[in-house]
Amino acid sequence: MVWGELDQQVLNTSGNSFKTVGKPFQESEQRVEESKTFEEMCCDCCLLGKAAQTLGQPCDLSLSVSYQCGLVSRACCVDGAPEQEFNGTQGSTQGPNCVHKCESSGTCSCFKGYKLKPDGKSCEDINECLLGGHDCQPGERCINTVGSFRCQREVSCGTGYELTDSNVCKDIDECELGTHNCHTGFECINTRGSFRCKPKTQCGDGYIQDAQGNCIDINECLSMTGPCQPGQICINTVGSFNCQRNSVNCGRGYHLSEDGTRCVDIDECKGPDGACAGHGCINLVGSFRCECRSGYIFNSLTRVCEDINECRHYPGRLCAHKCDNVLGSYKCSCTMGFKLASDGRNCDDVNECESSPCSQECANVYGSYQCYCRRGYQLSDVDGTTCEDIDECALPTGGHICSYRCHNTPGSFHCTCPASGYTLAPNGRSCQDVDECVTGTHTCSETQSCFNIQGGFKCLSFECPDNYRRSGETARVDRSDTIRCVKSCQPNDISCVLDPVHSISHTFISMPTYREFTKPEEIIFLRTMSPAHSSSQLGSSNIVFDILEGNIQSSFDIVKRYEHDMIVGVVRQVKRLIGPQDIVLKLAMNYVTNGVVSHRNIVNVHIFVSEFWF
């Protein structure tokens, strides 16, 4: 019988390892030699198993030994030693034929973990897991091995741990194994069941390190709870944040608190019109709810109390018109606009206007009614019965209803004028100027002339310059729109006589700020006493008009015109002026004869522009 190679084991205790040296056994024709060889193999292979057990090595350690020696080695490693030493004699005829052990009785037996096959010689493994011969604890799973079994933990150790040969969960050092994912700039630090990446460099306040080791800004507005005071909003900045006062916009059902920091509920139930149209009103946060009378239910969409109809499950089967539910029963009723007839089934028209369903006026029609409103109101689109005030001031034409300002009132409106200088016209819409100079409400002194302008007055006082005197019999003309000074030279005053200016006039006009300015406005007419065609005996003569001073931004021009054979200078406003402002135009009327200015009249036009268009 060929047993193959038997490895002689030399135990190196300092290195905790086995060294195997091959020792071949040759086939012999003598039974005695075979029996001795088998007995020696059994003993040596068992010593291999015992040595593995002593050093804590696995019992299924791979050795360069024959299959039979491996079985003996594993059995001795698991059990410590065979159940019974081999006591076969050299003369036994059955010894060499037994795979495991030969008993003194001449029969074969097996090591622990094996059982004898039916041929009485060979041994086969016992499945302790299947037969219940294991001693695994709860939470462990039995795994059968050749000649034995082992217990393995059923529950996984979990991420970051590994199961050792001694069935214990051991932490995996990802940093040592290099299985971590820390980037450059981070240091790997092992923790139980995991690891963490610690930045090698620290970021300043307001920054945090990302996966690549870069310092990035922290959004404190998102990462912190309530970084700012109530009423303020948080604005993130690079490395920090700012708190800014919040602009609160309140939705429907709320209004802004007095301190302007929050929205406060509106109590709709306190309204003058009553939010629930006669039903009980319960204020809610941001809304309200109607406490309906018996027989009604609150509709959250229309926000009115509607009748409860328990008969809706039997439409048209109980009554000719409709069925109105009552407690424990029902009764027939009619659709809106009708009432139940004497037979209890048919319906007659109801004059709804008798119950005053409309907030203002009501017109009865067959089977219904129509609400309409008085002037200044319109019918509500919500319930069709309530009259709502028309805001005439907000209509597309509202800007032209009043000259100045329009104020809406329930069912109407009223116009107002500026606080001073104007009064409301009899039509109730236009603003008309108050002539303070006539009413005596001006504050001009005795030495001043009161000149009325649009929306106010001006106290004017002019003195004629040297060598000029005021034209007229009196020294002062009240409410005159023109003051004229004519030249009056002293005797022998040659320079005065040679001065071409014969007269200096002051005239005054008041004008509005035009809302629309599309074409030039003619504002001043300078009429002369010269005919349009002078006599040839007097030589060639002409009148030239000129603006000497005050034409700011070229807002005016002057043109010459011929009317009724007379020469007229027309001053025009060519650009829109925004008031209030006062302008003085210095105009010259040059009388030219044969190309030489014979004399000149100066006209100072005082223009008072109102801030209003009326």
Q: Per residue in 246-258, pLDDT tens?
A: 777 888 888 878 7
Mean pLDDT of the region 8-16? 34
Q: If you search the block for the tokens 């003309």, which residue do you land on?
A: 477
Q: Which residues fall within 8 angstroms of residue 133, CB to CB, at 6 or more apart? A: 126, 149
- Nearest Cα neighbor of 502 from 605, 601, 604, 598 is 601
More confident residue, 416 or 74: 416
* 65-79, 153-167, 513-527: least confident range: 65-79
More confident residue, 188 or 306: 188
Domain extent listing, the chain? 5-130, 440-609
What is the reported pLDDT for 351?
87
C-alpha distances out from residue 529 to 532, 534, 564, 591, Å: 9, 11, 11, 11
Please state, as a whole number, how many other Cβ atoms lie within 10 Å of the Cβ of residue 433: 20
What is the reported pLDDT for 339?
82
Coil/strand/helix, residue 27 = coil
Please state, as a whole number, how many other Cβ atoms lie within 10 Å of the Cβ of residue 121: 15
What is the reported pLDDT for 362?
92
pLDDT in tens, 33-44: 444 444 455 566
Residue 558 has pLDDT above 90, yes or no: yes
Mean pLDDT of the region 522-532? 80
What is the reported pLDDT for 62?
60
Residue 4 has pLDDT above 70, yes or no: no
Mean pLDDT of the region 405-431? 91
Residue 538 has pLDDT above 70, yes or no: no
300 confidence band (pLDDT: 50, 70, 90): confident
- Nearest Cα neighbor of 603 from 503, 530, 461 is 503
Helix axes 31-54, 67-79, angle to 10 degrees: 40
What is the reported pLDDT for 270?
82
Burial label for 586, CB within 10 Å (0-12, 13-18, 19+), is middle
- Nearest Cα neighbor of 453 from 427, 483, 420, 476 is 420
pLDDT in tens, 57-77: 777 666 656 666 777 777 777
Architecture per CATH, 440-609: Sandwich (2.60)
Q: Which residues fall within 8 angstroms of residue 462, CB to CB, at 6 or more apart? A: 483, 506
What is the reported pLDDT for 35?
40
pLDDT in tens, 264-293: 888 888 866 667 877 788 888 888 888 887
